Structure 1
């Protein structure tokens, strides 16, 4: 079990290296932008077993519902050059609700039965620092590769009557970063991006496809698209896998 990391502490820990770039004289030409992403989110899967080796499997969608709920992200970009890019992303996610289990389930040291509704809270906050190098760059196409460091702060809590159980986890995950961009014309582009990693203990995949309108002489841009996240962990402490998809709109401002 781990204590929750305050949003501000986690954000500053990953954001300080990005902000420090603006203080270095050799990088006076760096272009910065901020983007807010928001949209409805649907859960296709959200199952948990705690402890991972002896608890009962619970479909949290029975308790929190499948959506839609609201998802939001904050992105801060630093374009170091036409080929080198940094990005910080804060992506908080919290779902809660109550429902009745179809049969008794053991979670932690307690058994939650069918006699009354069970209140559930699912939280999966992530903070990410990504680097991308545009390995291939033409007038129409850009293909980028890079890496990211993801800090996750997750918690699952169940409560029924006087009994309450929770499991939480804080960890760091390295991810591979891939991006492809097609320039439709001077104001429009389409891009797809994937960040992910997989191992015996679990996996994490974050994929998006968006169409972007960025007028040449304007400091703003607007993108519409889809985002899908899938992954989880499978170990003795906890088994937890989720898959959610959101329709997103992203507004960005460059300076």
Structure 2
């Protein structure tokens, strides 16, 4: 899926070079720290394991690529590729049951949490004036997730599925000046789980079509069912670059 997605991204980039004004591209780099990352697999019989409290999770690098096309100023369609992998190491003072395997207390463990996100978003600017853009829309998200545990045995649980989200966006540059801020939200909650992705960043438009940003991103959510219990709360320090063509 990663190879296919990268191929799609490259195709869009090459096509964009010949497109008319309205194409947007964003690149974001970040460092990710987890304050919660709990898993229990199977969800009803496994051992609850915290990759943050039971094991040691190191900060992880991450990046995002977003390509979009703006139509008649107010309509924007974007495609996002956002891979993520967080590793945790250590040992636990109790036996751990994970996917039918037993990891005895004190066994050195490596846990891998991977959550790759592919999203297609449409949003409409309900207010577009005097440096202020307020927009709402919806996002179709495909998650490609994996939780793996390595020790005396190796077990891996993958989960690929569709998640609908609501989108909100506020960008403000007072007086149409160079400096401003942006708030971007993808979120939705349901009885079986929830997903939240929130960015708050300062922006600097150092050229008519070029913008730098720096800020904080929060990703939180998970699912609780018989097959899997998994909830994570991740914090990103981000820097990004946006270009409009």
Residues 1-255 of structure 1 correspond to what in structure 2 (within 5 A)?
6-10=1-5, 29-62=20-53, 65-161=56-152, 163-184=153-174, 185-217=176-208, 219-255=209-245
CA distance in 1, matches of 2:7, 2:126: 29
Deviation at 1:189, TM superposition (A): 2.0
Moved over 6 A (4+): 13-16
Q: CA RMSD in A?
A: 2.4
Aligned residues: 244
Q: Is the 8 A contact 1:62 1:101 kept in 2?
A: no
Deviation at 1:63, TM superposition (A): 6.6
Inter-CA distance 55–207: structure 2 relative to 1 (3 Å threshold): same
- TM superposition score normalised by structure 1: 0.87
Inter-CA distance 201–44: structure 2 relative to 1 (3 Å threshold): same
Q: Which moved more, 1:119-128 or 1:29-38?
A: 29-38
SS of residue in 2 equivalent to 1:61: coil
CA distance in 2, matches of 1:13, 1:54: 40
Structure 1 residues not aligned, in runs of 5+: 1-5
Structure 2 residues not aligned, in runs of 5+: none
CA distance in 2, matches of 1:195, 1:119: 31
Which residue is equivalent to 1:3?
A: none
